[in-house]
Amino acid sequence: MFELLLSSLVTILPDYLYRRYVQGKRWGREITFFSMWYELRYGITLCTVLTISLITLVFFYHPSATTVTSYFRTVTILPETGGRVAEVRVENNQTVEAGDVLFRLDATSQQAAVETARRKIAEVEASQQVAGADLAAAEAGIEQASAALEQARDDLARNEELRDRGSSAVRLTEIERLENLVARREGEVAAAAAARDAVKENIDVLIPAQRASAQAALEQAEAELAKTTVVAGTSGRVEQFGLQVGDYVNPILRPAGILVPETFTEQERYVAGFPQISASVIKPGMFAEMGCLAKPFEVIPMVIVAVQDVIPAGQIRPTDRLRDPQDNARPGTITAFLEPLYAGQTIGIPAGATCIANAYTNNHDALDDEGLSTARWIYLHVVDTVGLVHAILLRIQMLLMPVTTLVLGEH
């Protein structure tokens, strides 16, 4: 409408003034509703061309986005294991702190596993005490076998000395018996030493390994028991939480609710989708203006801080079929990230609010170029000037937004 009014002032109006005051044609006689299309044909044609050109110029160099919003993160409340709810600690819409217990699952089997693992550790500790007693017995056995070996060796040495002196009191069979006895005593000493070494191996290697295995089993059982207690991973507000004692929750099929963190990393960053035809115009650093349904009479100055270098419509995932470009449901938009020009201007706008935005091309630096041609200089001035039309349109939209939403909108 503004483009049409501006174009008519320099096309239709001069044409009418020429017909009226130069040619003497008066409205209602020579110029009627039926002859107006012929009499003012030059002005109407130029007005149509100029209006279309002006609209194209405005929307190309000063693009608008009707889908602007601020995304926020949510945390799904899920247990690490499935089970029935035994206790609920919070209510829906309740604010919680990080680490607060939300609910507990039935942990009968997990508690039994923990108790079994603790009993296993006690059993290993008891076996260690028994092994200490076995070690003492093995040491005593070595001493007993060593004493018997010494006695047998002494008897053999005494009989061999008597034999060497030629005494008739010594028989060869007795010496052979004592030699066999010494050999047997030596074997008994070796066996007692081997038994002692086996007990030491149990104490130094086997029992510590058994204890470590039992301790690991206890830690695993305690970890499984801890999974039955679901805590808040971050501070925030619990939403869509209708859990009751006896309900069954599952980490895959049955979540318990949603936790909305109290701080949003991108609370003052808004995401806007501009038409693809504006890809050559949308640049980081461009100034913009935004209006939201949550604040219908306020226009917020913004600045584009980043532009996504890919279009989401082209995203693919590996499948067993080749993708046909004609299957794209919609062309996709240029994703730009906007932030308030001044801090605190978006306070009061809830996260996820629906907004609209206009971006404005600024040729101030290009106009300072001394080598710029006159035609180019005029063209850039026109581009910057027509941005005012889009700014006026945005303000009219914000003024009419309550009417279009509450009265003319679908209910």
**CB environment 174-189: b (16+ within 10 A), e (fewer):** ebeebeebbeebeebb
Question: Do the Cβ atoms of 342 and 282 come closer than 8 Å?
Answer: no
Residue 167 has what pLDDT? 63
Question: Measured between alpha carbons, how far apart are the two ends of the chain, in Å?
Answer: 28
H or E segment and range at residue 212: helix 207-226
Q: Which residues pair with residue 409 across a beta bridge?
A: none
What are the structure tokens assigned to 29, written together? 């006689």
Amino acid identity, position 222: E
What does the alpha-carbon distance between residue 209 and residue 206 come to, in Å, rounded to a whole number? Answer: 5
DSSP per position, 113-147 = HHHHHHHHHHHHHHHHHHHHHHHHHHHHHHHHHHH
How far is residue 187 from each of residues 34, 141, 146, 191, 194, measured CA to CA in Å?
A: 136, 12, 10, 6, 10
Question: Do the Cβ atoms of 289 and 267 come closer than 8 Å?
Answer: no
On the question of a common fold for 62-72+264-313+330-404 and 75-106+229-260, the answer reads no
Looking at the whole model, is its pTM more than 0.75?
Answer: no
Residue with tokens 């693809």: 276
What does the alpha-carbon distance between residue 55 and residue 217 come to, in Å, rounded to a whole number? Answer: 74
What does the alpha-carbon distance between residue 157 and residue 172 come to, in Å, rounded to a whole number? Answer: 13
The answer for residues whose C-beta is within 8 angstroms of residue 279's C-beta and 6 or more apart is 334
- Percent of the chain clearing pLDDT 90 (strictly above): 13
Residue 360 has what pLDDT? 93
Residue 70 has what pLDDT? 87
Provide the residue-wise pLDDT of the chain in tens; the chain has 411 residues: 666 777 777 777 777 777 777 777 777 777 777 777 777 778 888 888 888 888 888 888 999 998 899 888 888 888 888 888 999 999 888 989 988 999 999 988 888 999 998 998 888 888 888 877 777 777 777 778 787 777 777 777 777 666 666 666 567 777 677 677 777 877 877 877 887 877 787 778 888 888 888 899 889 998 888 888 999 888 888 988 888 888 888 888 778 888 888 765 446 789 999 998 988 899 999 999 999 988 888 999 999 999 998 888 777 778 788 877 777 777 888 999 999 988 888 888 888 888 999 999 988 888 887 788 888 888 888 888 888 888 888 898 889 888 888 887 665
Residue 384 has what pLDDT? 86
The answer for residues whose C-beta is within 8 angstroms of residue 296's C-beta and 6 or more apart is 398, 401, 402, 405
Residue 166 has what pLDDT? 65
Per CATH, the number for 75-106+229-260 is: 2.40.50.100
What does the alpha-carbon distance between residue 235 and residue 252 come to, in Å, rounded to a whole number? Answer: 23
Torsion of CA 395, 396, 400, 405, to 10 degrees: -70
Strands 355-360 and 287-292, sheet pairing? antiparallel
Residue with tokens 């001493």: 143
Residue 318 has what pLDDT? 80
Q: What is the pLDDT of residues 158-209, one digit of tens each?
A: 776 666 666 665 677 776 776 777 778 778 778 778 878 777 877 788 888 8
Residue with tokens 């850039």: 380
Residue 168 has what pLDDT? 61
Residue 290 has what pLDDT? 93
> Phi and psi (nearest 5°) for 220?
-65, -45
Residue 287 has what pLDDT? 93
Domain boundaries in the chain? 1-56, 62-72+264-313+330-404, 75-106+229-260, 108-226
Please, where are the H alpha helices in 274-371? 364-367
- State whether CATH 3.30.450.40 applies to domain 62-72+264-313+330-404: no
